[in-house]
Amino acid sequence: MTDQAQEIAQLDRMIHEPARLTIMLILDGVSEADFLYLQREGGFTQGNLSGHLTKLEDAGYVEIEKKFKGKVPLTLCRLTGAGKAAFAGYSQRMMGLLKGNGSAG
């Protein structure tokens, strides 16, 4: 097994899935976002987003809070400390892989 293959094997699969990577990318750039915003930005269906958010929440990467702003119910999602750290690690590993392969510079 080459070093690169080992690096690829060590990628965080919880984040590596495209839909969850999209969710992590969106949440990494904001303090918090609600379900509808995530759904529209990521182009998800309601069920699809709900399923991926549940997985990310179970992994401890995303915190989901249901609350009211005024009388409007909002399902707020934000990255946890562990989520931020995991995403930073994933990001660096992926960039290292791409850079090592001459695909990013």
- Contacts with another protein by CB under 8 A lie at 25-26, 28-41, 46-47, 49-50, 53-54, 57, 64, 66, 69-70, 72-77, 87-88, 90-92, 94-95, 99, 104
Minimum CB–partner distance for residue 81 and another protein (Å): 14
Q: Do residues 72 and 34 touch, judged by C-beta distance below 8 A?
A: no
Beta bridge partners of 77: 33, 64
Looking at the Cβ atoms of 4 and 30, the one nearer to another protein is: 30
Minimum CB–partner distance for residue 10 and another protein (Å): 16
Minimum CB–partner distance for residue 93 and another protein (Å): 10
State the Cα–Cα distance between residues 53 and 75, nearest whole angstrom.
11
Minimum CB–partner distance for residue 9 and another protein (Å): 19
* Tokens read off for 77: 């999602």
Q: Do residues 61 and 78 touch, judged by C-beta distance below 8 A?
A: no
Looking at the Cβ atoms of 8 and 25, the one nearer to another protein is: 25
User: How far out from the chain centre does Cα 92 lie?
Assistant: 14
Sign of CA dihedral 7, 8, 12, 18: positive
Looking at the Cβ atoms of 1 and 18, the one nearer to another protein is: 18
